[in-house]
Amino acid sequence: MMVYTLALVTISFLLKDKHMLNPKKLEEIAKQISDSVPQGMKDMAEGAETRVKQILQNQISRLDFVSREEFDVQTQVLIRTREKLAALEARISALEASSTED
């Protein structure tokens, strides 16, 4: 309950003067909130976070995803392929036009 009250006081303090947000003050407030959380809750939160990460990584590894790097490479390949296709279509159109003139 103390953390909740401290958070509400902090939020109301920050909303009073929107132009005076000092990053150092925000860090100080975050540290005060963090320090007020009992160690048992911190440990429990860290354990839960670790477990959730493990579950997500396990589930994601089962899916058929590509890396961002591979996605970017394939995007570039697709762009080049479209450019070549457009050039070939233009060339075919020019050849068709010249064959009908003969």
Q: What is the pTM of this model?
A: 0.41
- Give the model confidence (pLDDT) of 57-71 as tens digits: 787 777 777 788 999
pLDDT, mean over the chain: 78
CB atoms within 10 A of CB 23: 7
pLDDT at 77: 97
Q: What digits encode the pLDDT tens for the residues 28-43?
A: 777 777 777 788 877 8
Which structure tokens are listed for 56?
A: 């997500």
How far is it, in rounded angstroms, from Cα 49 to Cα 55?
A: 10
